[in-house]
């Protein structure tokens, strides 16, 4: 029987980072304070979701969506707001140019899925699913950070493996193209997934779900220095940001 307990990429990723962090975040309901990068990512995702869900996909509408999605909280000061706002404008300018040149049909933006893995629920949201003129499907994950991942990192990305699984098992098609769209550079990096890689990813998710189900939250203190809870967690040996920086 399917367990109503949900697992997702974020939950798996948090658990793999440190099981105790999973407990703090999802059982004790501690919150990671929002910061400029996280907020900016949400704004751009929301802008593109709103833009692609409407009928009028003109340049003006895209920037109306940006205005609707924008929020000033979680930035440090007016100068930072100004810099991020302009960065977002530039990203969307470049995005719109590529969008106009593309012949693909955007089937879904921010498409939620609810799949079964073993006896568990696995949920997530795929940023975009396109259908190309030749009938092939492409799934896409947006990234808004400035860093462009190398091919190896994209090839090993667990989230994309989960998305492929969801496409096959929930939406009923195998994506022909799989990409991460690095919006800051308007660049896509393509990858592939074999059945073995998808099975391995799902096994990691099931194993994680089983560990969570038996409340195995042993701390992994090897990454405390980069953890959001490094100064508040009882298992962390770090007492100041300076100590953490020295450990990097
Ligand atoms: S500070 Fe260390 S032990 Fe505590 S949740 Fe973070 S990584 Fe885990």
Going by pLDDT thresholds of 50, 70 and 90, the confidence category of residue 244 is low
Mean pLDDT across the chain: 93
Interval 164-211: pLDDT, tens: 999 999 999 999 999 999 999 999 999 999 999 999 999 999 999 999
Please tell me the distance between residue 21's alpha carbon and the centre of ligand 1 in angstroms: 6
Interval 76-95: pLDDT, tens: 999 999 999 999 999 999 99
pLDDT score, position 26: 94
**Cα–Cα dist 94/87, whole Å:** 11
DSSP 20-78: HHHIIIIIS---PPP-HHHHHHHHHHHHHHHHHHSS---HHHHHHHHHHH---TTSSSH
pLDDT score, position 74: 86
First CA to last CA across the chain, in angstroms?
A: 45
Please tell me the distance between residue 171's alpha carbon and the centre of ligand 1 in angstroms: 37
pLDDT score, position 170: 94
pTM over 0.95: no
Which ligand 1 atom minimizes the distance to the CA of 18? 8
CA 58 from chain centre, in angstroms, equals 26
Helix (H) or strand (E) holding 127: strand 120-131
Q: Which of 17, 18, 218 to mutate to test the pocket of ligand 1 (most atoms within 8 A of CB)?
A: 18
Alpha-carbon distances of 103 from 98, 106, 130, 133, 135, rounded to whole Å: 10, 9, 10, 7, 12
Please tell me the distance between residue 234's alpha carbon and the centre of ligand 1 in angstroms: 8
If you average pLDDT over residues 40-60, what whole number do you get? 95
User: Ligand 1, atom 4: nearest CA belongs to which residue?
Assistant: 233
Tokens 């660049």 sit at which residue?
187
Q: Is the pLDDT of residue 2 over 70?
A: no
Please tell me the distance between residue 200's alpha carbon and the centre of ligand 1 in angstroms: 26
If you average pLDDT over residues 120-144, what whole number do you get? 96
Which ligand 1 atom minimizes the distance to the CA of 21? 5
Ligand 1 pocket residues where CB is under 6 Å: 18, 20-21, 24, 219-221, 223-224, 227, 229-230, 233, 235-236
Q: Is the pLDDT of residue 239 over 90?
A: no
Whole-number percent of the chain with pLDDT over 70? 96
Which ligand 1 atom minimizes the distance to the CA of 235? 3
Q: Is the pLDDT of residue 5 over 80?
A: no
Which ligand 1 atom minimizes the distance to the CA of 230? 1
Please tell me the distance between residue 24's alpha carbon and the centre of ligand 1 in angstroms: 9
Going by C-alpha positions, the residue among 230, 246, 232 that lies closest to residue 17 is: 230
Alpha-carbon distances of 222 from 30, 53, 124, 219, rounded to whole Å: 21, 43, 28, 9
Which is more confidently placed, 2 or 112? Answer: 112
Domain segments of the chain as ranges: 1-17+104-217, 33-101
């Amino acid at each position: 029987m399917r367990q109503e307990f949900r697992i997702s990429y974020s939950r798996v990723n948090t658990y793999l980072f440190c099981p105790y962090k999973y407990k703090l975040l999802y059982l004790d309901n501690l919150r990671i304070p929002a910061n400029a990068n996280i907020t900016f990512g949400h704004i751009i995702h929301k802008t593109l979701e709103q833009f692609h869900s409407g009928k009028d996909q003109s340049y003006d509408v895209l920037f109306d969506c940006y205005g609707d999605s924008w929020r000033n909280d979680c930035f440090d000061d007016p100068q930072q707001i100004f810099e991020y706002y302009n960065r977002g404008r530039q990203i969307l300018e470049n995005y719109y140019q590529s969008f106009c040149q593309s012949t693909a049909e955007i089937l879904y933006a921010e498409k939620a899925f609810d799949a079964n893995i073993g006896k568990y629920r696995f949920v997530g949201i795929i940023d975009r699913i396109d259908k190309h003129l030749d009938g092939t499907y492409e799934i896409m994950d947006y990234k808004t950070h400035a860093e462009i991942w190398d091919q190896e990192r994209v090839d090993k990305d667990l989230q994309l493996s989960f998305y492929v699984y969801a496409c096959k098992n929930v939406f009923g098609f195998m994506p022909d193209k799989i990409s991460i769209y690095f919006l800051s550079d308007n660049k896509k990096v393509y990858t592939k997934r074999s059945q073995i890689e998808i099975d391995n990813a799902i096994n990691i998710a099931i194993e994680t779900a089983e560990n969570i189900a038996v409340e195995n939250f042993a701390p992994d203190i090897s990454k405390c220095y980069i953890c959001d809870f490094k100064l508040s967690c009882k298992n962390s040996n770090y007492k100041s940001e300076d100590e953490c920086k020295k450990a990097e």
